[in-house]
Amino acid sequence: MSPSTGVGNLRDSLRTQLWPVPLVAALAAICLGQLVPYLDRQFQDHLPVVVAGFLFGGGPEAAQAVMQTIAGSLVTVTSLTFSLTVVTLQLASSQFSPRLLRTFSRDVFVHNTLALFLATFVFSLTVLRSIRVETSEGDGFVPRISITVGFGLTLASVIALVFFLAHLAIQIRVETMLRDVHDEAGQAIERIFPRHGNARPTGLAGSRPGGTLIESDVSGFLLGVDANAVRAAAMKADSFVVIDAMPGDSLISGVPFARAWPADGRALDGQRLTDLSEGITNSLSKGFERTSTWDAGFGLQQLLDVASRALSPGINDPTTAVHAVGHISAVLCTLAARHTGPKLHVDEQDQPRVILNFPTFEHLLDQVMRQMIRYALNDPRSAERVVRMLRELSWVAGPGPHSSVIQDSVAAVQIAIGAADLSDDEKRRLRSECDAVAAAGNGIWPVP
CB 313 within 8 A of CB 421: no
Least confidently predicted of 31-35, 206-210, 297-301:
206-210
pLDDT band at 433 (very low <50, low <70, confident <90, very high): very high
* Position with higher pLDDT, 105 vs 61: 61
According to the model, what pLDDT value does residue 1 have?
Answer: 45
Helices (H), 205-297: 227-236, 270-282
Determine the Cα–Cα distance for residues 158 and 277; give it in Å rounded to an integer. Answer: 56
User: What residues form DSSP beta bridges with 284?
Assistant: 225
According to the model, what pLDDT value does residue 92 have?
Answer: 73
The yes-or-no verdict on residue 134 having pLDDT over 80 is no
The yes-or-no verdict on residue 344 having pLDDT over 70 is yes
Q: What is the mean pLDDT of residues 425-440?
A: 94
User: What residues form DSSP beta bridges with 132?
Assistant: 141
The yes-or-no verdict on residue 239 having pLDDT over 70 is yes
According to the model, what pLDDT value does residue 19 have?
Answer: 87
Least confidently predicted of 153-167, 259-273, 288-302, 325-339:
259-273
pLDDT band at 205 (very low <50, low <70, confident <90, very high): very low
Residues 6+ apart with CB under 8 A from 90: none
The yes-or-no verdict on residue 380 having pLDDT over 70 is yes
According to the model, what pLDDT value does residue 2 have?
Answer: 46
DSSP characters over 194-219: -TTPPPPP-SSTTTS---EEEE-SS-
According to the model, what pLDDT value does residue 5 have?
Answer: 58
Q: 239-243 and 352-356 as β-strands: parallel, antiparallel, unpaired?
A: parallel
The yes-or-no verdict on residue 203 having pLDDT over 90 is no
Residues 6+ apart with CB under 8 A from 309: 95, 96, 97, 315
pLDDT band at 361 (very low <50, low <70, confident <90, very high): very high
The rounded Cα 17 to chain-centroid distance in angstroms is: 12
261 to 201, 233, 330, 342: CA distances (angstroms): 17, 13, 40, 18
The yes-or-no verdict on residue 96 having pLDDT over 60 is yes
Question: Phi and psi of 344, rounded to 5°?
Answer: -95, 135
pLDDT band at 8 (very low <50, low <70, confident <90, very high): low
Going by the DSSP 8-state scheme, the letter that residue 324 receives in this structure is H
Determine the Cα–Cα distance for residues 366 and 329; give it in Å rounded to an integer. Answer: 13
Least confidently predicted of 199-203, 292-296, 412-416:
199-203
